[in-house]
Structure 1
Amino acid sequence: MNNQRNILLAVVLSAALLLGWDAAMRYFYPQPDNAVVATENSRDKVDTPAERSAAQHTRQGGLVDPLEIAEEKADLATALASPDRVRIDAPRIAGSINLQGAVVDDIVLKDHRETVDKDSGPVRLFSPRGTPAQQFAQFGWVGSNIAVPGAATKWEADGRVLSQASPVTLTHDNGAGLTFAIRFSIDENYMLTADQSVANTGGAPVVVQPFGLVNRTSRTASMDQWVAHSGPIGGFGDGAEYDYDYDDVDDDQRITPEGRMHWIGFTDIYWLTALVPQKGMAPDATFRALGNETYRADMIYEPVSVPAGRKLTLSSRLFVGAKESELLDSYEDAGISKFGLAVDWGWFRWFEKPMLWVLRTLFELAGNFGVAIIGLTIIVRAFMFPIAQKGFASMAAMKAIQPKMKAIQERYKDDKQKQQQEIMALYKGEGVNPLAGCLPMLLQIPVFFALYKVLVLAIEMRHQPFILWIKDLSAPDPATVLNLFGLLPFTPPSFLAIGVLAVLLGITMWLTFKLNPAQMDPIQQQMFAIMPWVLMFVMAPFAAGLLLYWVTSNILVLAQQSYLYSKHPQLRAAAAKDKDASTATIEGKT
């Protein structure tokens, strides 16, 4: 009776986990409502503040609500049609600068598409102020008792197109003896340089305070996960700051990170916007909440005096682009301190960065990112095999002395201290270390966690196909078993949308558990029997690349265990004996 009650309890708990997981996945992995069609009139429909506050974030970020997507499209068409813009046409980015306010508010990435569809547009990072996806940067000055350019200032440009070969200078004469200029240039990647200058043709010195800012909405932010930070970010002091999220800025309204500022901005899982000050200078840096889910990152230089008849120039930079690890490291090597840490590697970056290099190398050789993941998993498992072998050897040695240990325990069952002394003497005499079997397992944990995190963070996996139906390894497996991989005309609920890789994960994990020694406790046995299928549901919404890694790893574990059992037959015999004993125990209780 007790055993039946325990089985029922295990089933109920598993069902509760599945249903709870479905609710969590709908919260963390929201999908647009297919019933809502975004039309030209969608932006006229009611979209109350309450509805806006309920917006959810996806793993890769971007707008989710079809109404907001339609509104963004309409607003962009209006804002970008203005003739008062300087076009940006660089090797890897395109867009424009608004001459009203000298605002960089239109940036798309040429090398990255919005979706896997080859005809889809490029990823958009910057949108003008007031649009649903607003994000922009601005450089300017603060001054006391002088007229400085502001948001409504109309600047003059000496060119119509900003390219790598053709910088563009914006100028504004305040009519009171000061000429302000911003010379924009751009490199072959994602870095813009803004040379801010003030020429004083008046008769007295003036004091100005240059600044740079990035303004954005959090509605387009990617999810802030414990393995991948999304939100305010910067390089300060001896490291990078990942501790603040948008809610923290809302709570405090203004946050000033500690330490010398190297760069500041906002990050998503794959994208970064960052302000970089002039080398050798350390401006004040703050994150501010502006209300209505908008935020600002500021860098404000110390006030400087511009004597009469003199000109002051200060150079800042703006990174707007993809978090490509090698590129960020190259900027760090060129002098931007801690810039490579814009990728939230965490504690194990010394493992992760070499793994990413191997993954990229395998991808270059194989031409298929899924094959590269399989190859990297094989390499990591091969590297860890001697550790696993040592652990199995230790288990075999422990199994060999089990009869002697039981004899000691029986002989000194009333004297625990003497029992422990005799067991320790047995370990020493037989040359057995009881911790040697656990240590190899502990050593493997950071290595495999590092591999997992590499696959979460690597932008190289985004939109990469594998085989047949898997067109994007960074997205969940689209082929679900219950609708016969799309042949049946219905979409299963998310917690039942089990793809092929998830099924393979459950099967391979069940097989690995079958190879392990049986647990004497019937409840543990039941939980181990259920766990692979629970994990099959739990892991189904994760990126296909992660599932591919896990399935490959399980297959390698099966091969490894079979080989090591062949090398240590006493373990196989002990495992079989344990299973027989466990089965007999269960049958005796039923």
Structure 2
Amino acid sequence: MENSRNFILAIALSALVIIGWGFLSKRYLPPVANPPATEIVKGKQVALPKPEAAQDSANTIRDRAIVLRESPRIAIATPRIAGSIALKGARIDDLVLLGHRETITKDSPPVRLLSPGGTQDAYFAGFGWSGDNAALPNGDTVWTADGTTLTPAKPVTLSWDNGKGQRFQLKFAVDQNYMFTVTQTVTNTGPAPLTLRPYGLISRVGISKDPSSWTMHTGPIGTFNGATNYSVGFKDLDSAGAAGQRFQTTGGWIGFGDKYWQTAIIPAQNVSADAGFRADGSGRYQADAAAPTITIAAGKSQTTEQRFFAGAKEVRVLDAYQDAGVPQFDRAIDWGWFVWFEKPIFYLLDWLFVHIGNFGVAIICLTIIIRAILFPVAQKQFASMGKMRVLQPKMKALQDRYKDDKPRLQQEMMALYKSEKANPMAGCLPIFIQMPIFIALYKVLALSIEMRHQPFALWIKDLSAPDPLTPINLFGYLPFQPPGMLHLGMLAILLGITMWAQMKLNPVAGDPAQQQVMAIMPWMMMLFFAPLAAGLQLYYVANNLLTLGQQRILYARTPGMKDPVKP
């Protein structure tokens, strides 16, 4: 096999792996449904308490500004986020991400992640207690705050007294990034013990705008007992009904993920928790986690703590929280199989971007580095291909001589390889090296928020979006955008042309069927890449150009590679 053929085959096989595994795993390895969780309380098995769901109708949409004014609020002000906490219901339901914009236009507003119930795309977090022997706060409770603004340097405590001997407090703290810490305290001044269960919930209306695919999971996600679960989707919750999907876990987290954004409830890591997802049939979905039941004696108080993440899936930020004790929080990004290989590539790319200042140039520099690392492998491959090409007449003679004696033919072929010091598998080695590289780069460039809205040059203003310049609509003069694979941007066309040029630089394959496959492969890859991110296309255009230069060098160092095989 020739070098460029191996590269194109590596891309094709990697694409098959990316697409095929998701299909096969969903079809033949379906997740096992979890039974509704229960807890033993005083020797009796009882259903776990259900956290309070949002009381707003998912079908009622009102203006956000009006809804925000209907509740007294505590402002949230940090370097990365802004918004407010509603004192009615003690909900974190108003949050924008200051470092990320909706579009690439200069006047674009910041990305809105959370929004109050009853508004467009309602999405919020709430915290409270469940139990039967006390008057508990709910979504209509109006809390009293000891401050007006929540900042990283100044926590805010909300208080509510039920008038029956119990006082409830929620202390909110926030760090410099996207993590809230919620401390829940109950003081029992009544005459009898109080049995409660603290919980946290996330409620959202509607599914993710980023569709979940075989290569990227969006929607319900969590880490339970040290393993991250990507198997639950919005359709699964619709089918499960009120029972939902439940998990018993010690440590971990639960929430909802979009392509670039994440919310997560993170219970205390040293105790068992009941966590799960549910849907109410009206388009509302909930993720919740309940701590173990606590009993508060008369005259005593008890405190529990949990955290809430609401922000962007920035790799360094997620890794920092993981290092701080949130297990597998980096898996909020669906890295897939090759996470051990993908993250070093990401960190190298991010380092190049920080020092260069242009993400597209950083991608090109990464391409050069990878090709330089693989150059010795390509040299050995070419040397092996040269030997195999010289041996082809002898191999053909052996095949003709022993065509009716397969065992003898294998013996003679092995003896020939040994005497000529040739390795027939050496030509295929680059395929197995390039496959994880392709998959890793696909994941890094497709999922990393760090590339979102980053420009390159000329008409490419956003490397995370498909190439906008396409001759299909006469470069924008016709008022429509071609869909999917028909959106043949200039980068995708260049990718196909450079792959075709690699094919033309190689000797013609002897097998007519192989000739046909290799002739059509570049154009199939062009269509495959057309709807993908421009940054990914840029990498492969640059890689193809470098491969063309490398081929010329290697052909010059390996005379006779392009000569016809002599009989």
User: Structure 2-normalised TM-score?
Assistant: 0.85
Q: Secondary structure at the match of 1:347?
A: coil
For the pair 1:78 / 2:70, whether they are aligned, the reply is no
Q: In the TM superposition, what are the counterparts of 1:123-134 in structure 2 within 5 Å?
A: 123-134=111-122
Match of 2:123 among 120, 126, 135: 135
Which piece of structure 1 moves more, 258-267 or 112-121? 258-267
CA distance in structure 1 between the aligned counterparts of 2:229 and 2:157, rounded to whole angstroms = 33
2:563 to 570, 573, 577: 573
SS of the counterpart of 1:180? strand
Superposed CA deviations along residues 270-298 of structure 1, whole A, max 9, x for unmatched, are: 11101111242231111112222321111
Shift of 1:410: 2.0
Distance 1:518 1:459 in 2: 43
Q: Could you tell me how far 1:496 is from its partner in structure 2?
A: 4.3
CA 423–257 in structure 1, closer or farther in 2 if over 3 Å, else same:
same
- The counterpart of 1:186, out of the listed 174, 199, 207, is 174
2:82 aligned partner: 94
Q: CA separation in 1, counterparts of 2:375 and 2:439? A: 16
Alpha-carbon separation, structure 2, partners of 1:257 and 1:120: 40
- Is residue 251–residue 270 contact of structure 2 (8 Å, CA) maintained in 1? no
Is 421-430 or 74-83 further displaced after alignment?
A: 74-83
After TM superposition, give the deviation of residue 83 of structure 1 in Å.
4.9
Alignment of 1:122-271 (within 5 A): 122-253=110-241, 254-257=244-247, 259-271=249-261
Query: What SS does structure 1 have at the residue aligned with 2:436?
Result: helix
Give 1:462 deviation, angstroms.
Answer: 0.2
Letter in 1 for 2:417: Y
User: In terms of mean alpha carbon deviation, does 380-389 or 201-210 score higher?
Assistant: 380-389
Structure 1 residues 377-411: Cα deviation after superposition (integer angstroms, max 9, x where no partner): 11112112222222222111111211221222222
Question: Once superposed, what is the RMSD of the aligned Cα atoms?
Answer: 1.9
User: Are the equivalent residues in 2 in contact too, given 1:262–1:282 (CA < 8 A)?
Assistant: no
SS in 2 for 1:169: strand
Matches of 1:485 and 1:363, distance apart in 2: 29
CA contact (8 A) 1:427 1:433 kept: yes
Tell me how far apart the structure 2 counterparts of residues 293 and 246 of structure 1 sit (CA, whole Å): 10
The 5 A counterparts of 1:337-416 are 337-416=327-406
Q: Which runs of 5+ in 2 are unaligned?
A: 1-59
CA contact (8 A) 1:261 1:284 kept: no
1:493 is aligned to 2:459: no
SS in 1 for 2:562: helix
Residues 208, 258 of structure 2: 8 Å contact kept:
no
* TM-score when normalising by structure 1: 0.82
1:496, 1:429 → 2: CA distance? 52
CA 1:256–1:95 in 2, change beyond 3 Å: closer, same or farther? same
| Alignment-derived partner of residue 52 in structure 2 | none
Write the distance in 1 (CA, Å) between the matches of 2:227 and 2:478.
52
Moved more, 279-288 or 458-467: 279-288
Query: For residue 562 of structure 1, what is the aligned residue in structure 2?
Result: 552
1:288 maps onto 2:278 in alignment: yes
Aligned match of 1:308:
298
Give the Cα separation in 2 of the matches to 1:517 and 1:433. Answer: 20
> How far has the Cα of 1:258 moved from its partner?
5.8
The corresponding residue for 1:464 is 454
Higher mean Cα deviation, 289-298 or 546-555? 289-298
User: Matched residue of 1:257: which SS?
Assistant: strand
SS of residue paired to 1:356:
helix
Residues 271 and 292, structure 2, Cα contact 8 Å, conserved in 1: no
Cα distance in 1 for partners of 2:394, 2:513 equals: 29
Unaligned 5+ residue runs, structure 1? 1-70, 582-590
1:492, 1:245 → 2: CA distance?
30
Match of 2:19 in 1: none
**Contact 1:474/1:543 (<8 A) preserved:** yes
Residue in 2 that maps onto 1:588? none
8 Å CA contact 2:133–2:195 kept in 1: the answer is: no
CA apart distance, 1:263: 0.9
On the 8 A contact 1:97/1:103 being kept in 2, the answer is: yes
Q: 1:508 aligns with which of 498, 506, 509?
A: 498
Q: Supply the distance in 1 between the matched residues of 2:472 and 2:395 (Cα, whole angstroms).
A: 52
Mapped to 1, the partners of 2:403 and 2:293 lie a distance apart of 80
- Correspondence for 2:541: 551
Match of 1:112 in 2: 100
Q: Tell me the residue number matched to 1:477.
A: 467
% identical equivalent positions: 53
Deviations 1:177-232 (CA, angstroms, capped at 9, x unpaired):
00011011110000011111101111221111100011113434412122221111
TM-superposed CA distance for 1:527, in Å, is 4.3
Match of 2:441 in 1: 451
Counterpart CA distance in 2 for 1:520 and 1:425 is 24
Which AA in structure 2 matches 1:227? T
What is the CA-CA distance between 1:505 and the residue it aligns to?
1.1
Counterpart CA distance in 2 for 1:564 and 1:216 is 57
The residue matched to 1:410 in structure 2 has which SS? helix
- 1-side partners of 2:240 and 2:373: how far apart? 47
**Residue identity matched to 1:82:** E
CA offset at residue 485 of structure 1? 2.8
Deviation at 1:81, TM superposition (A): 2.5
Q: Give the letter for the 2:399 counterpart.
A: Q
Q: Quote the offset at 1:483 in angstroms.
A: 4.2
Aligned AA for 1:440? P
Aligned equivalent of 1:36: none
Question: Equivalents in 2 of 1:403, 1:567: separation in Å?
Answer: 22
Q: Report the structure, 1 or 2, having the larger helix content.
A: 1
SS at match of 1:124: strand
Q: After TM superposition, give the deviation of residue 123 of structure 1 in Å.
A: 0.6
- Residue among 408, 414, 429 paired with 1:418: 408
Shift of 1:453: 1.1
- 2:181 alignment partner AA: T
- Determine which of 481, 502, 507 is the counterpart of 1:517: 507
Deviates more, 1:262-271 or 1:514-523: 514-523
* 2:40 alignment partner in structure 1: none
Secondary structure in 1 matching 2:467: coil
Do the aligned partners of 1:391 and 1:441 also contact (CA within 8 Å) in 2? Answer: no
Q: Is the Cα contact below 8 Å between 1:261 and 1:285 reproduced in 2?
A: no
Give 1:521 deviation, angstroms.
Answer: 4.5
Of structures 1 and 2, the one with the larger relative CO (CA 8 A, separation 6+) is 2
1:482–1:338 CA distance, 2 compared to 1 (3 A): closer
1:414 Cα deviation (Å)? Answer: 2.6
Whole-Å separation in 2 of the counterparts to 1:258 and 1:534: 46
Counterpart for residue 6 of structure 1: none
Q: Report how many residues are paired.
A: 505
Query: Shift of residue 259 of structure 1?
Result: 4.6
